[in-house]
Copies of this chain bind each other. A is one copy, B any other.
Amino acid sequence: MSEKSIPYKIYLSEDEIPKQWYNVRADMKNKPAPLLNPATLQPMGFEDLRPVFCDELIKQELDDTTAYIDIPQEIRDFYKMYRPAPLVRAYCLEKALGTPAKIYYKFEGNNTSGSHKLNSAIVQAYYAKKQGLKGVTTETGAGQWGTALSMASAYLGIDCKVYMVKVSYEQKPFRREVMRTYGASVTPSPSMETEIGKKINAEHPGTTGSLGCAISEAVEVATKTDGYRYVLGSVLNQVLLHQTVIGLEAKAALDKYGVTPDIIIGCAGGGSNLGGLISPFMGEKLRGEKDYRIIAVEPASCPSFTRGKFAYDFCDTGMVCPLAKMYTLGSNFIPSANHAGGLRYHGMSPILSQLYHDGYMEARSVEQTAVFEAAEQFARVEGILPAPESSHAIRAAIDEALKCKETGEEKTILFGLTGTGYFDMVAYQKFNDGEMTDYIPTDDELNKSFATLPKVEI
């Protein structure tokens, strides 16, 4: 098919929304390691996880053999409100860069949550409702995940309790108001509503909170309140499974035009977007059918893949959640205060960690001023103001396209544009004012953090 016939935006029809999620674990020889009970350090089974998670989601979490899992029709109907998401050919960016590379991006920001998070939020809320539960609890930092879960819960008519890191609650009132508009209760964390919140407030008067604390509060409320379960927006196997709609749609759209990417790029915090985007391509690679260069991009200030250890660690700083084997900087690692670009999680999806460990993908870290430069360049020619998180992938895509310009290679690059930056203007302002700085943690800092890794023999 001729170049010219590829439109700016490739939309699939609603019939082409995936009917099944693809479970990449089924094609992995080395499966991701099991979650461990934080008290006993033993692998957790179905029953162990029931007080915290919905039954159907636990099944998905533990299932590492079924390659395709059906998407319920009700969820596909919800997906129709904002999916299929467009696959965009970045003609304008290619022209601005003067590159022979062909750049495509899968845009997941055309919904009110502003990101791909909605793809999993609706699934988790759906199974909670189907199990007859009254509602769900979760934590949120900047608020993207909390917004997505609020939207899904409003649609299904179940309750949604969000524990929002206090400093974000106070400094980012707009995300909070979006969640409230969707009917969620939003509580600044640490609160005086939970035991752990009261304890932390007593021990650290005036604390502005942390994600780890908010997780602990959300888990406590879920386990102590009749009819509630806890849900999470990244890291878990189930979340990566739900997010494969991104990659399945992207692949279907490319296949329709006979296009095969050479390089696939995604930003990586907990791994939900990256895992979702690459899974179907990774499946082909694992089965030896095709080869792709797959690149994870993370902030230099929070370099889990590129400088972390592959080890069992706690998923939360409160150390109440299960342990996962993953690339981690240590559960008490906190990125430098100057870090504005999201992707602050200390660990990484166990699936992606295993794949990276086994050499199926690359990782690189980028500094945030370079990320915002890429974001600005992209916005001005492609029209979309990207989220700082997504802009990590833009940075790498531009860098690869510029390499093609040097070598003259006409490579095809696919990257994930996970969301929009409309609620990140404080960071953009810092950049516009020339006040943004970079920070790379020293080896000493990381070593101190690694020293807190739990001793696990399994």
Contacts and interface: CB of A to CB of B under 8 A. Distances in A.
Interface of A: 7-9, 11, 13-14, 80-82, 92, 110-112, 114, 151, 154-155, 173-174, 177-178, 180-183, 376, 379-385, 420, 422-423, 425, 428-429, 431-432
Nearest to A376: B181
A237 to B, nearest CB: 27
Contact of A379 (B82, B181, B381): B181
B429 A155 contact: no
B428 A177 contact: yes
Given A181-B385, A429-B177, A112 B11 contact: no
Contacts of A92: 81, 155
A71 B111 CA distance: 29
Contact of A151 (B7, B177, B383, B425): B383
User: How many copies of this chain sit in the oligomeric assembly?
Assistant: 2
Contacts of A381: 154-155
A388 B8 CA distance: 31
Contacts of A81: 8, 92, 382-383
Given A112-B379, A112-B384, A155-B380, 9 more contacts: A7-B80, A111-B383, A112-B422, A151-B383, A173-B425, A177-B428, A177-B432, A178-B425, A178-B428
* A-B pairs with lowest CB-CB distance, top 5: A174-B425, A8-B80, A154-B380, A177-B425, A81-B383
Contacts of A385: 112, 178, 181
Contacts of A82: 383
Given A182-B379, A383-B155, A112 B420 contact: yes
Contact of A428 (B80, B181, B376): B181
Contacts of A383: 81-82, 111-112, 151, 155
A59 to B, nearest CB: 28
Nearest to A151: B383
Contacts of A14: 7-9
Contacts of A431: 181
A326 to B, nearest CB: 33
Nearest to A375: B181
Contacts of A182: 379-380
Nearest to A183: B380
A349 B176 CA distance: 37
Contacts of A174: 422, 425
B422 A422 contact: yes
A399 to B, nearest CB: 21
Contacts of A155: 92, 380-381, 383
Contact of A110 (B110, B178, B422, B428): B110
